[in-house]
């Protein structure tokens, strides 16, 4: 009997160590998921802001149909006077945002493509949000 007790000495300590290792792995996984969810939340907030900015611009352009060509701008070009107020609003809401606006006349309507680019952090690739609208 004495021999069996001696062979089992320290088993409880070993079980406790295994439990601590398993718990630590679970906590590390949870921390990793938290970091990923924060990143996804930041990306979705920027996409929502880009959608709102594009929607504002399409609304402005819809009220100024006669001058749609004045809103066209290439990526990284200086904003024309017609876009100045919108560009400053967008830059305030999305720091570091870049944008382009393409105005393409079609047979019975005009296609407007608003592209917003941003970089969430240094070294990341650009995120891009494109909104296409048709104005008659």
Specify the pLDDT at position 40: 81
Per-residue pLDDT of the chain (136 residues; tens, 9 = 90+): 566 666 667 788 889 999 999 999 999 999 989 988 887 887 888 899 999 999 999 999 999 999 999 999 999 898 899 999 999 999 898 888 899 999 999 989 999 999 999 887 777 788 899 999 999 8
Structural tokens at position 35: 């970091």
What are the beta bridge partners of residue 132?
113
How is residue 122 annotated by DSSP? T
How is residue 79 annotated by DSSP? P
- The structural domains of the chain, with segments of one domain joined by +, span 11-135
What are the beta bridge partners of residue 98?
117
Q: How many CB atoms lie within 10 A of CB 94?
A: 20
The whole-angstrom distance between residue 55's C-alpha and the CA centroid of its chain comes to 17
Specify the pLDDT at position 1: 56
The answer to pTM > 0.95 is no
Sign of CA dihedral 85, 88, 92, 94: positive
């Amino acid at each position: 009997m004495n021999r069996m007790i001696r062979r089992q000495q320290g088993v409880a300590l070993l079980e406790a160590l295994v439990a601590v290792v398993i718990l630590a792995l679970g906590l590390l996984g949870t921390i990793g998921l938290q970091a990923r969810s924060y990143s996804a939340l930041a990306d979705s907030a920027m996409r929502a802001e880009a959608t709102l900015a594009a929607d504002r611009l399409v609304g402005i352009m819809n009220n100024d149909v006669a001058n749609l060509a004045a809103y066209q701008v290439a990526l990284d070009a200086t904003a024309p006077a017609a876009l100045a107020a919108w560009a400053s609003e967008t830059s305030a809401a999305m720091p570091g945002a870049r944008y382009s606006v393409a105005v393409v006349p079609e047979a019975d309507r005009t296609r407007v493509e608003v592209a917003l680019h941003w970089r969430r952090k240094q070294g990341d690739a650009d995120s891009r949000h494109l909104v296409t609208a048709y104005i008659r």
